[in-house]
């Protein structure tokens, strides 16, 4: 349980964590060396790999390539069973607890076991909560679920707590990749206050101020993908 334990240790030491999300579907493999060198010299602590729709095998090919250039932990953030590869260090075993689609609550998980049991991946049970963000995101579309309403904060708090009581080890508040607005800074502290497990926040974070807002409101880890994909100089802005 190295990766999970390290996350907890970092939080106990008052550190904030940043995961760079690489979506194999949007990433040019030829740019891996240059991109990962940027990641290595940035404040990033983790590399997440995954996406809502990814070609079979492209995750494994990309993770193998990324590993050549970094010692940072590589964590799968899979949208589907086909994205599981033993080349990574860990997998967020995500259950989309904001939705009511059984496939994303437990269905795909059952089908992943024949693959997972043959890997040495560290499996980290993660509650995944999609929150409305101003436009329909790929994750809502692919999972055929509705995001939780931003103004129904008590429902979001209770959903996160229910996930924790079910034994989930991380809780992830997601606005969706490329979201117009990130998860509301009013929601994050209220969810955090009610949880004992680490809180991840992602979706729509595009500038240093939004990153700091998420940390200051209680996010232990922030996930950023699109802003780095669009402009690699964002790594330098965060120094």
Residues that bind ligand 1GP (CB under 6 A): 21, 174, 177-179, 202-205, 223-227
Q: Which is nearer to ligand 1GP, 121 or 204 (CB)?
A: 204
- Smaller CB separation from ligand 1GP, 5 or 208: 208
For the chain, counts of helices (H) and of strands (E): 11, 8
Round to whole Å and give the CA distance between 59 and 84: 8
Tell me which residue has its CB nearest to ligand 1GP: 202
Comparison of 90 and 223: residue with beta carbon closer to ligand 1GP: 223
Closest separation between CB of residue 225 and ligand 1GP, Å? 3
Token readout for 40 is 């290595």
9 vs 237, beta carbon nearer ligand 1GP? 237
Q: How far is the CB of 52 from ligand 1GP (least distance, A)?
A: 8
Measured from the Cβ of residue 115, the count of other Cβ atoms closer than 10 Å reads 14
CB atoms within 10 A of CB 212: 14
| Least CB distance to ligand 1GP at residue 118 (A) | 27
- Go through 7-32 and write b for each residue having 16 or more CB atoms within 10 A of its CB, e for each that does not: bbebbeeeebbbbbbbbbbebeeeeb
Q: Minimum distance between the CB of residue 216 and ligand 1GP, rounded to whole angstroms?
A: 18
Spatial CB neighbours of 230, under 8 Å, sequence gap ≥ 6: none
Closer to ligand 1GP by CB, 118 or 208: give it: 208
Count CB atoms within 10 A of the CB of residue 1: 12
Residue 165 parent element (H or E): helix 153-165
Instruction: Give me the least distance between CB of 136 and ligand 1GP, in Å please.
Output: 14
């Amino acid at each position: 349980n190295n990766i999970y334990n390290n996350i907890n240790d970092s939080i106990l030491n008052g550190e904030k964590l940043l995961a760079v999300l690489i979506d194999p579907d949007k990433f040019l493999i030829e740019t891996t060396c240059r991109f990962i060198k940027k990641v290595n010299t940035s404040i990033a602590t983790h590399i997440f790999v995954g996406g809502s729709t990814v070609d079979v095998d492209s995750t494994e090919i990309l993770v193998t390539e990324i590993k050549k250039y970094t010692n940072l932990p590589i964590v799968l953030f899979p949208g589907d069973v086909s994205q599981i590869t033993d080349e990574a260090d860990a997998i967020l075993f995500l259950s989309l607890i904001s939705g009511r689609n059984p496939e994303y609550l437990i269905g795909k998980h059952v089908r992943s076991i024949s693959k997972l049991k043959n890997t040495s991946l560290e499996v980290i049970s993660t509650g995944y909560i999609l929150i409305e963000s101003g436009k329909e995101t790929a994750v809502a579309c692919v999972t055929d679920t509705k995001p939780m309403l931003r103004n129904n904060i008590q429902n979001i708090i209770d959903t996160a707590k229910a996930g924790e009581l079910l034994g989930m080890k991380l809780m992830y508040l997601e606005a969706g990749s490329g979201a117009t607005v990130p998860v509301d800074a009013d929601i994050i502290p209220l969810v955090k206050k009610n949880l004992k497990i680490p809180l991840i926040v992602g979706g729509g974070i595009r500038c240093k101020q939004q990153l700091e807002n998420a940390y200051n409101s209680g996010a232990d880890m922030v996930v950023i993908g699109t802003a780095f994909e669009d402009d690699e100089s964002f790594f330098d802005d965060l120094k």
